Amino acid sequence: MAEGGYDYSFVDEHLPEEFRCGLCTLVARDPQQTDCCHNIFCDNCLKKLRRSTRPSKPKCPLCGQKKFASFNDGRINRKVIGLEVYCSNREEGCDWQGTINETGTSIGIHLNNCPYQLVPCTEECGEEIRRSALETHLADDCTKRLVNCKYCNRIGRYQLITSSSHLDECPDLPVQCSNEGCNEKIPRNSVVSHNKTCPKAFVPCEYNTVGCNKKIKRQEQEKHNEMSILTHQHLTKKQLEERIKSFGRNSEVFKVNQFGNIETWQSPGFYTSPSFKYKMSLLVFPNGKGAGKGTHVSCFLCFVAGEYDDILEWPFEGEVTIELLNRLEDKNHKKCTISFDDTLPEKYRQRVKKGTSTNRYGIDTFVSHEELKYNAITNHQYLKDDTLYFRISIEVARMRPWLLC
């Protein structure tokens, strides 16, 4: 709408000149007649003219009279507002016709309902849309419409759901497998599990625990094993011999069954070496003791009467290492080393009578219940099939030389 007169498209293309404003040349809005030359001007056009010449008074734009006044021309106004006009959206397809009728009962009401009229989006996305297309815009095009992510089904504004801020974190967005040669796309939150089975992923040789350090694609494992049979047999034999030798010298392994159903477990007595050594026992409290009650596994050691106690040095001096074994690989075991030296009271290190044992000594908070579970980052799992495996390694610090054989 023009600032001055009416810029409608009139049904009558040949309107009398007396209806036109002498300034903006459009059909006069709120027509004012001058007392000098009796010409017609829009009320707003005259006000604008007077503002532009302040503090001086303007001349009449048509006759040049220095002092002139104006008054409402009701006769012209009645004719003007009765003129028939086309809808301003005619070129867009609206065929409505009606009068100007400034009381709002004609073109004003029509434009408030015209399906071709531009209106702002009700979701305030910043766009203007034809009224008839507003519903479609809100459903299909508005950047602020609510939509579901097609991958994770999260609900949000279209501009957010389709932006990188969401897609960079969407857990179900398909991503390309990073293993060379694998063309599979998998949901982002399944990448780790996919990599555990992807045939193109490089994995350690199945015999890495015995010393084969090769890494091969998962799909080539079988071929590698076939080509390396002799090497793997040699490595396996070598490590088995070393473990047997090591365990026979200073280590014992114990299996704790039904972990969740027992309060206390005590191992059979074991010697610190195959012959002429100290005899000990391991105590395990699955649900903890002392500071570890209810949250940790507690482990303690005690000496029990052995057949060689008469010829051993007392009180005992040495180090004992308790290891909770990782069931997944030969590393990341949970360890605790206890030093039996002069800083430890003798009641924990002294010889005992047959059928008795020393006071137990160990750690209340050996391992938390939470740590027992599978951990993908460190690749450890201590508790499996409701069973724990412990290994006890002993290094004696003081021994009579002739008993070391």
Sign of CA dihedral 43, 48, 53, 55: positive
The tens-digit pLDDT sequence of the chain (405 residues) is 446 899 889 999 889 999 999 999 999 999 999 999 999 999 999 999 999 888 888 899 999 998 899 999 999 999 999 999 999 899 999 999 988 875 455 888 888 899 999 999 999 999 999 999 999 999 999 999 999 999 999 999 999 999 999 999 999 999 999 999 999 999 999 999 999 999 999 999 999 988 999 999 999 999 999 999 999 999 888 876 665 454 434 678 999 998 889 999 999 999 887 665 899 999 999 999 999 999 999 999 999 999 888 889 899 999 999 999 999 999 999 999 999 999 999 999 999 998 888 899 999 999 999 999 999 999 999 999 999 999 999 988 876 554 544
Domain with CATH 2.60.210.10 in the chain: 249-403
Q: What tokens were used for 176?
A: 């390309």
Give the burial class of 53: count Cβ atoms within 10 A of its Cβ; 0-12 exposed, 13-18 middle, 19 or more buried. Answer: exposed
Return d(Cα 348, Cα 345) in angstroms, integer: 6
Domain spanning 17-113, CATH class: alpha beta
Sign of CA dihedral 59, 63, 67, 68: negative
Number of Cβ within a 10 Å radius of residue 186: 19
Residue 293's φ and ψ, nearest 5 degrees, are -60, 120
CATH of domain 249-403: 2.60.210.10
Return d(Cα 265, Cα 218) in angstroms, integer: 41
CA neighbor of 34 nearest in space, from 45, 150, 279, 346: 45
Domain with CATH 3.30.40.10 in the chain: 17-113
Q: Locate the DSSP E strands across 64-170.
A: 70-72, 84-86, 97-99, 118-120, 128-130, 146-148, 155-157
DSSP state of 163: S
Alpha-carbon Rg for the chain in angstroms = 48
Chain mean position to CA 256: 39
| Location of structure tokens 């610190």 | 272
- Give the SS3 label for residue 380: strand
